[in-house]
Structure 1
Amino acid sequence: MDLKRIVVAVVALLVVAGLVLGAVSGIFASVARQGLEAAGLETPRAPSTLPASALDPSASGTAGATSPAASAAPSTTAPSTAAPSTAGPDGAVALPAPVLAGTEGQGTVSGAALSDRIRGVKVKDSGGYSGEVRDMRTGAVVFSHRAGSGAIPASTTKLVTAAAALDLLGAEHRFTTSVVAAGKGRVVLVGGGDPYLLEKGSSDQPTRASLSTLARRTATALKADGVRKVSLGYDASLFSGPAWNPTWPGSYGDVASRVSALWVNEGRTTPGGGVLGPREGDPAKDAAKAFASQLEKQGIDVGGVSTARAGKDATRLAAVSSMTLERIVEHVLMTSDNDGAEVLLRQAGVAGGRKGSFADGTAVVAARLKDLGAWTSGTRLVDGSGLSRSTRIPAATLTKLLRVAGEESHPQLRPLITGLPVAGVEGSLATRFGDDESLAGRGVVRGKTGTLSKVHGLAGTITTRDGSVLAYAFLVNDPKNDYNATVWLQRVTAAISTCGCR
């Protein structure tokens, strides 16, 4: 064999070896990701919701598939779900603008016609469900199927958590992080439960409060008093324990932070690192250290950092305020942010005159639901985000709440509606509604997703083709095929949106 043939043979072997190694590494990465996505723990846009890329009909079985293996773990390769649109200069397909169909909401719906349309959507192995559709204008129930039965709601839980916080505090409320004097040469950083406090101010997120801004203001106040060296205490006592919900499995440690009234970057060790990633073991202490670093950049020498309790009459040196609660709620719902939702649960507990614990927060949320007329027996709340499988919410609770949020008498609840992602456009619904039978729902269906392993839900509002505005909720538990369950949710809501159900 001459040299040329030897070189060709070696190159061919290297190519084959590279392909094999690439395939193997891809398989391992895919399997690892599948486990997280199937449990609803990793997605580019929203915690505890599955992206379209995790739901491959070729692997999970197309709608109607019967293979047991197909429903065990979805592939990470999925068909395109982009809506027909014009390609941009880089060749990427642009999604449509989030513009909803206009209506005066004066259409009427025949319950019988709507029920026929909903029951006409057949997707094999999609599972049983608790479902209800309610007319937003009249409040009349126009479809009901086990609507009073408690179901695991996953992230649709965030709707009730956000509602309680909004109702108690108001849409314009802001949370304050402050620094107070605690004697000669000592200051205390006091956490106010701002879920989106940043370490460093950012031009990309100008409405968010930051420790860098707080440090600059604090340094200015200290220097005015001739102080250039301090010891630093930090107070996160606004919320009480436990910081970790006992019904959450330990494996959620990379998708949920230990709840604290004082943290930066939502307690994540890698800011902007996405949903999945390591979390701080002590978020308050981490925030205090970050603040000390920012103070030193402002010319203040920090001699030590320790826990403390700020006195009730302590002099405030500086403070920064969060985004309005309206914007916080919209962000929590749009991205399905677990950490933000758990902070809102604690804030609701405190605003309701109780301590900021899981138990107190859920008790206050339940009380607010009853006061709003949205409570349904069978509702059981355990956390604020929906990560717990012990929480139960019937579909009727969600449609009642959405209807109340749309009433003129409850303007403080309007962010529950404005924060809902638009199908095929934004947030946790950006990559959904891609098959032929659900395309009609793009730009029309608004909904809060909810996904854990073997749990799939969607709750929101729909403007139908004939001018009706409807609140809906569908909660699927224990489907034989996870992919088919999500297909059914998309197709059934799309079918409602095209309704001429007079």
Structure 2
Amino acid sequence: MLALRTLSLGCLITLLVLVTGSPLPGGAQPLTSSPSSALSSEIDRILDAHWGSTPAFWGIHVVDLENGNTLYAHHADHRLIPASTQKLLTTAAALDQLGSSYRYETELHFNGTTEGAVMRGDLTLRGSGDPTFGSTEIWQRDPLQEWAQKLAEQGVERIEGRLIGDARRFDGTAYPESWDIGYVTRQASRYIGTASSALSYSDNVVALRIQAAAPGQPPDIRPYPNGALTLNNEATTSSRWRGNALHLDRAFESNTIRLHGSVARSYRGTVNVPVTTPTDFAMRSLVLALEEAGIETDLTRVDADTLSTVPDRGSLLFVSLSPPLADIVAVINKRSNNFYAEQLLRTIGWGGSVEGGENRIRQFLRQAGVARPPAIHDGSGLSRRNLVTPKTLTGLLQHMENHPESEAFRASLAGSGERNTTMEYRLSRYNVEAKTGSLRYVRALSGYVTRTDGSRVAFTIMANNYSGGAYRVRRTMDEIVQTLTDAPVL
């Protein structure tokens, strides 16, 4: 035993493995430098304290950004479900391809004649994939209402002809093939299951304004804009003052919504429901905006995809510019906006497709020198078929640290304790910039830590197939990150 005390830490670890047949607690890969060994021991202790006797599969990789050395590795080359840390791949590839100053353009054209106060001909509403067009996630004036008001101010009183919705910039596939069908048919909220389209408006959701009625009666439900959804209102108003149990479901790719369950008799609120035909929804919304501005309309809505040849768009009336891409990726990473991420994936993809976006990300990673290409099936991380190694994510973070768009990428990450982000209630006393990830039985955290001595590390922590409460996973991750913030003891 005295002889063992004189052995180096690395030799002792090797001896223990030979004798017991087991690696360090949690399967960590031992490192030889003293600071790294101390860090490894502490992370092992945290994992063993929280998960020593409880099933969970952990993947962790920590890298020193000053010299590129690996400080800790635990199943770092094992591909795991990343959840929303997948958005790091999407946003980094988009910044690399488009640049942080890139702006989407959505246009309204007119090809026809004007006689007095009447416009006759074709209006074409042409999209380029802008997720912010009419969106409530980034504050800006509603472009359709602004355009309608300007036409009214110019003396237009009536518009007759066709309204053509042009969404051909994307391939027309609304959802990634790998998504759970329940995202679209059962959960159906503005945050999960939203259809993508090159012509999107108001996050592609209809606002259902709900007002409780007398107990036993169906609540009053008013969609805005009207006509975009077919509602089967089977819900009731309960006699209780608080507590709602309102549910909605739909058939796949159907705009018929069934509402059932109950609302409290005091309830008054808004539920946002995705549409499955975004192009038609945008056209309906333009017609409504025109009518609200006092302009009569006799417009036939036409999807450009149904036309054998799309007519000349004619003169450009208006163009709406999105905020710069730097602001868009900040919404994606700070708030984990799935719709924005899916729009961005198609924007950078060849042919405006999900598959094209996947190939673009893989190409970007190859050029960045990131090993072990991931399995990519969407841009948001909702798919459980996405598989990424912790080492791939930290490799991406290393690459972006010295990338020309490094500032925009880092600014897109949620800061520890930052309000209205996914990190609002986490690690508020530490200098951390990170992206969270969350699916059922999946949690992930990946980003940067600035240590107390000013040095920086990149880290990825992923947990799959855990049992017990998700709060335990989160607490374990946060304790590991807290450990990373301490300067190494030399």
Same fold, judged at TM 0.5 (above): yes
Q: Deviations over 1:452-502 (max 9, x none)?
A: 011110000101122211111011111122332222111111111134343
Matches within 5 A, 1:44-443: 110-121=35-46, 122-124=49-51, 125=54, 127-184=56-113, 185-198=121-134, 206-207=139-140, 210-217=143-150, 223=156, 228-253=159-184, 254=188, 255-270=192-207, 277-304=272-299, 305-308=301-304, 314-349=314-349, 354-373=350-369, 375-407=370-402, 410-426=403-419, 427-433=421-427, 442-443=429-430
Q: Distance in 2 between matches of 1:241 and 1:275?
A: 29
Other-structure match for 2:19:
none
**3-state SS of paired residue (1:460):** strand
Q: Distance in 2 between matches of 1:175 and 1:218?
A: 23
**3-state SS of paired residue (1:320):** strand
Other-structure match for 2:236:
none
Other-structure match for 1:493:
481
Other-structure match for 2:5:
none
Q: Distance in 2 between matches of 1:359 and 1:348?
A: 10
Paired residue type of 1:189: L
Relative to structure 1, is the Cα distance of residues 275 and 418 closer, same or farther in structure 2, using a 3 angstrom cutoff? farther
Per-residue deviation, 1:219 = 5.6
Relative to structure 1, is the Cα distance of residues 417 and 321 closer, same or farther in structure 2, using a 3 angstrom cutoff? same
Per-residue deviation, 1:222 = 8.6
TM-score by length of 1: 0.69
Q: Distance in 2 between matches of 1:156 and 1:230?
A: 47
Other-structure match for 1:57:
none
Q: Distance in 1 between matches of 2:209 and 2:432?
A: 29
Q: Distance in 2 between matches of 1:179 and 1:378?
A: 41
**3-state SS of paired residue (1:270):** strand
Q: Distance in 1 between matches of 2:324 and 2:455?
A: 31
- The answer on whether the counterparts of 2:416 and 2:423 sit within 8 Å (CA) in structure 1 is yes
Per-residue deviation, 1:196 = 1.6
In structure 1, stretches of 5+ residues that fail to align are 1-107, 434-440
Q: Distance in 1 between matches of 2:161 and 2:65?
A: 57
TM-score by length of 2: 0.71
- The answer on whether the counterparts of 2:39 and 2:483 sit within 8 Å (CA) in structure 1 is no
Other-structure match for 2:28:
none
**3-state SS of paired residue (1:110):** helix
Relative to structure 1, is the Cα distance of residues 207 and 469 closer, same or farther in structure 2, using a 3 angstrom cutoff? farther
Structure 1 runs (4+) greater than 6 angstroms displaced: 271-276
Q: Deviations over 1:152-191 (max 9, x none)?
A: 0000000000111111111001101101124442111011
Per-residue deviation, 1:128 = 2.2
Structure with greater contact order relative to length (CA < 8 Å, sep ≥ 6): 1
**3-state SS of paired residue (1:355):** helix
Paired residue type of 1:411: P
- The answer on whether the counterparts of 2:158 and 2:297 sit within 8 Å (CA) in structure 1 is no
Per-residue deviation, 1:221 = 7.2
Q: Distance in 2 between matches of 1:291 and 1:140?
A: 55
Other-structure match for 1:12:
none
Per-residue deviation, 1:257 = 0.6
In structure 2, stretches of 5+ residues that fail to align are 1-32, 114-120, 211-268
Structure ranking higher in strand proportion: 2
**3-state SS of paired residue (1:414):** helix
Q: Distance in 2 between matches of 1:123 and 1:196?
A: 42
Relative to structure 1, is the Cα distance of residues 208 and 401 closer, same or farther in structure 2, using a 3 angstrom cutoff? farther
Paired residue type of 1:394: T
Q: Distance in 2 between matches of 1:332 and 1:275?
A: 23
Per-residue deviation, 1:209 = 5.9
**3-state SS of paired residue (1:295):** helix
340-349 vs 361-370, greater mean Cα deviation: 361-370
Q: Distance in 1 between matches of 2:167 and 2:34?
A: 51
- The percentage of counterpart residues that share the same residue type is 28
Relative to structure 1, is the Cα distance of residues 393 and 246 closer, same or farther in structure 2, using a 3 angstrom cutoff? same
- The answer on whether the counterparts of 1:193 and 1:260 sit within 8 Å (CA) in structure 2 is yes
Q: Distance in 1 between matches of 2:444 and 2:139?
A: 33
**How big is the alpha-carbon RMSD for the aligned residues of Structure 1 and Structure 2?**
2.8
Matches within 5 A, 1:462-481: 462-481=449-468
Per-residue deviation, 1:211 = 1.9
Q: Distance in 2 between matches of 1:308 and 1:220?
A: 29
* Structure possessing the higher radius of gyration over alpha carbons: 2
Q: Distance in 2 between matches of 1:496 and 1:294?
A: 53
Per-residue deviation, 1:312 = 6.9
Paired residue type of 2:50: V
Q: Deviations over 1:415-436 (max 9, x none)?
A: 2211211223331111234xxx
Paired residue type of 1:333: N
- The answer on whether the counterparts of 1:118 and 1:496 sit within 8 Å (CA) in structure 2 is no
Q: Distance in 2 between matches of 1:449 and 1:293?
A: 39
Q: Distance in 2 between matches of 1:296 and 1:188?
A: 17
Given candidates 434, 443, 451, the residue that maps to 1:447 is 434
Per-residue deviation, 1:286 = 0.9
